[in-house]
Amino acid sequence: MERQEQFEPVIVAFCCWWCAYGAADLAGTSKLEYPTNIRIVRVPCSGRVEPQFILRAFKGKADGVIVAGCLEGGCHYVDGNLKAKRRVESLKKALNAIGLSGDRLEFYLMSSAMSDKFVEAMNEFTERIKRLGPSPLRV
């Protein structure tokens, strides 16, 4: 148990430029704190996130991956967020199938004004990954 508490996961968060990235900016501006484990990669739209990006992050020893896009109906690019959501859902199943828990991947929806939602998601996900422990690809 003690070992797990010291475990500091690495989490890659793909954030769409228009909503999630803005929410992260606002969280920073508002000095809302969340774990340093989160590392943000900017993408124009969550719909740009290739399964390849997610797998590359896991291969590079990330313990968890987040894809974050706009609220339903609020996508800057009409419905790229919904395409991303569907892809993430299938990929979660695929990760389960290969023994790399689908829980290590999550999709979040938020507007650029929802800094509280961003922080809540980051806290929740980091806690979850800490519970899951290091990625099997890492140990």
Q: Which of 66, 67, 68, 75 binds other proteins (CB under 8 A)?
A: 75
Choose between 56 and 131: whose C-beta lies nearer to other proteins. Answer: 56
Say if residue 41 is exposed, middle or buried (CB neighbours under 10 Å; 0-12, 13-18, 19+).
Answer: middle
Choose between 65 and 106: whose C-beta lies nearer to other proteins. Answer: 65
Angle in degrees, CA 45, 70, 63, rounded to 5: 75
- 19-38 mask for other proteins (x: CB under 8 A)? --xx-xx-xxx-xxxx-x--
Number of residues that bind other proteins (CB under 8 A): 47
Comparing CA positions, the residue from 89, 81, 97 lying closest to residue 14 is 81
83 near other proteins, rule: CB under 8 A: yes
User: Which region, judged by CB under 8 A, interacts with other proteins, from 39-47, 96-104, 128-136?
Assistant: 39-47
Which residues lie closer than 8 Å to 135 by C-beta, 6 or more apart?
58, 61, 62, 63, 64, 100, 104
74 near other proteins, rule: CB under 8 A: yes
